[in-house]
């Protein structure tokens, strides 16, 4: 059985996800996309990236390993309403043998404005032991190619931000 992808992906800079749509049951009592569903949209886009790297949902069980999110920072910048088309751009900021650091931006799908950003670190994990382990060589090679493609991109607005409430004068 095939344990890797049978094609070499092309890494656009940045990666652009499939178009998704805000569903009615994803909205809250404020009439906009609920905070939990921003995470869902970002997660679906990240899964598409992992597919290109050779270890997404379609290969995780087969290969016995996957990525677990270990840290995120989300900024909510503009509301999304029911029916809004959305796309997520994903930039691979950095990687090592066990981790991926990405920055994702959620855009209105036709108007292009930014609704939210998510900075994320994901850890490669053996699904049996549930412990971190080095990524397979082919995944590292693809991460390297993606990182090269994304290296020319401008530093994303909001990357590396800390959360806090500065004192007002």
Q: In 3D, which of 124, 127, 152 has the Cα closest to residue 67?
A: 124
Contacts of 32 by beta carbon, 8 Å cutoff, 6+ apart: 79, 80, 81
pLDDT in tens, 1-49: 345 555 677 788 999 999 999 999 999 999 999 999 999 999 999 999 9
CA distance 139 to 53: 5
| Predicted structure pTM score | 0.92
Per the CB < 8 A criterion, the answer to whether 78 and 85 are in contact is no
Contacts of 98 by beta carbon, 8 Å cutoff, 6+ apart: 123, 124, 132, 133, 134, 135
Contacts of 1 by beta carbon, 8 Å cutoff, 6+ apart: 62
Phi, psi for 88 (deg, rounded to 5): -120, 130
Q: How far is CA 33 from CA 19, 30, 40, in A?
A: 16, 8, 11
pLDDT band at 138 (very low <50, low <70, confident <90, very high): very high
Q: Which two tokens stand for residue 122?
A: 């994901």
Q: How far is CA 20 from CA 32, 67, 115, in A?
A: 16, 22, 14
CA distance 63 to 126: 9
pLDDT in tens, 37-70: 999 999 999 999 999 999 999 899 999 999 999 9
Can you tell me the mean pLDDT for 120-126? 98
């Amino acid at each position: 059985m095939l344990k890797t992808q049978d094609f070499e992906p092309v890494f656009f800079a940045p990666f652009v996800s499939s178009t998704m749509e805000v569903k009615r049951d994803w909205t809250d009592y404020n009439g906009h996309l609920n905070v939990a569903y921003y995470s869902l949209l970002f997660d679906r886009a990240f899964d598409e990236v992992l597919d290109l790297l050779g270890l997404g949902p379609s290969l995780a069980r087969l290969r016995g390993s996957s990525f677990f999110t270990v840290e995120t920072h989300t900024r909510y910048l503009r509301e999304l309403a029911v029916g809004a088309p959305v796309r997520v751009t994903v930039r691979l900021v950095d990687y090592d043998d066990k981790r991926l650091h990405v920055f994702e931006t959620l855009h209105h799908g036709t108007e292009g404005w930014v609704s939210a950003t998510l900075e994320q670190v994901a850890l490669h994990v053996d699904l049996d032991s549930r412990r971190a382990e080095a990524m397979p060589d082919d995944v590292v090679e693809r991460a390297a190619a993606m990182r090269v493609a994304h290296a020319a991109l401008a530093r994303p607005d909001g990357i590396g931000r800390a959360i806090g409430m500065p004192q007002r004068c």
